[in-house]
Amino acid sequence: MEIIYLLIPISLVLLGVIVWILLWAVKDGQYDDLEGPAHRILMDEDRVVEPQKNSRRGDAG
């Protein structure tokens, strides 16, 4: 079980890296706009199938 004295420090180093990445991401503004990327990923394709939502909205509107 002495391996735990090695494994836990490793997990702590990992934790440190994760925390650093997260703090960097927040500082960089990655979390400022949570809505945008969801749309962007759909539209950046060269050809996109029109989302289902559009046609329904169009009929009602």
Partner 1 sequence: MKSAIAKRDVHQDSVETDVVSVVTDSRDCFHCGLPVPSDLDLYVNIDGVDQPMCCHGCQAVVEAIIASGHENFYRVRTEVSPTGQGLVPEFLQATEVYDVPEIQGQFVHSLGADMREASLILEGITCAACIWLNEQYIAGLPGVTDVRVNYATQRALVRWDETRIKLSKILQSIQKIGYRALPYNPDQQQELHRQQRRLQLRRLAVAGLFGMQVMMISISLYAGAWSGMEASFEEFFRWLSLGLTLPVMLYSATPFFISAGRDLARRQVGMDVPVSLAIGIAFASSAWATINGQGEIYFDSVVMFVFFLSASRYFENMARQRCAASVEQLAQSLPVVTTLLATDGGTEESVAAATLAIGDRVLVRPGETVPADGEIIAGFSALDESLLNGESIPLDKNVGDRLLGGSINVTNPLQMEVKSVGADTVMAEIQRTIERAQAEKPPLARLADRVAARFISFVLLIVVSVAVFWWQHDAERWFEIALAVLIVSCPCALSLATPTAISASLGRLQSAGLLVKRGSALESLNRVTHVVFDKTGTLTRGRPRLERVICSQEYDRGQCLQIAAALEQHSEHPLARVLVQEAGMLEKRKLAQVTSTAGGGICASIDDEDYFIGNANYIASHSSAEIPAQWLEEIGADAVTTVVLARADRVVAMFTFVDELREDAKTLITHLQSLGKSVILMTGDGDAAARQVAELTGIPDYRAQMSPHSKMEAVQALQQESAVVLMVGDGVNDAPVLSTADVSIAMGGASSLAKTSADIVLTANHLPAIAQAMVVAARTQRNIYQNMGWALMYNFGAIPAAAMGLIAPWLAAIGMSVSSLLVVLNALRLTR
Chain residues that interact with partner 1, rule: CB under 8 A: 1, 4-5, 8, 11-12, 15, 18-19, 22-23, 26-27, 29, 31-33, 35-36, 39-40, 42-48, 50-51, 53-55, 57-61
Backbone angles phi, psi at 31, to 5 degrees: -105, 5
Residue 36 CB, nearest approach to partner 1 (Å):
4
Residue given tokens 């836990």 in the structure block: 8
CB of residue 41 to partner 1, shortest distance in Å: 10
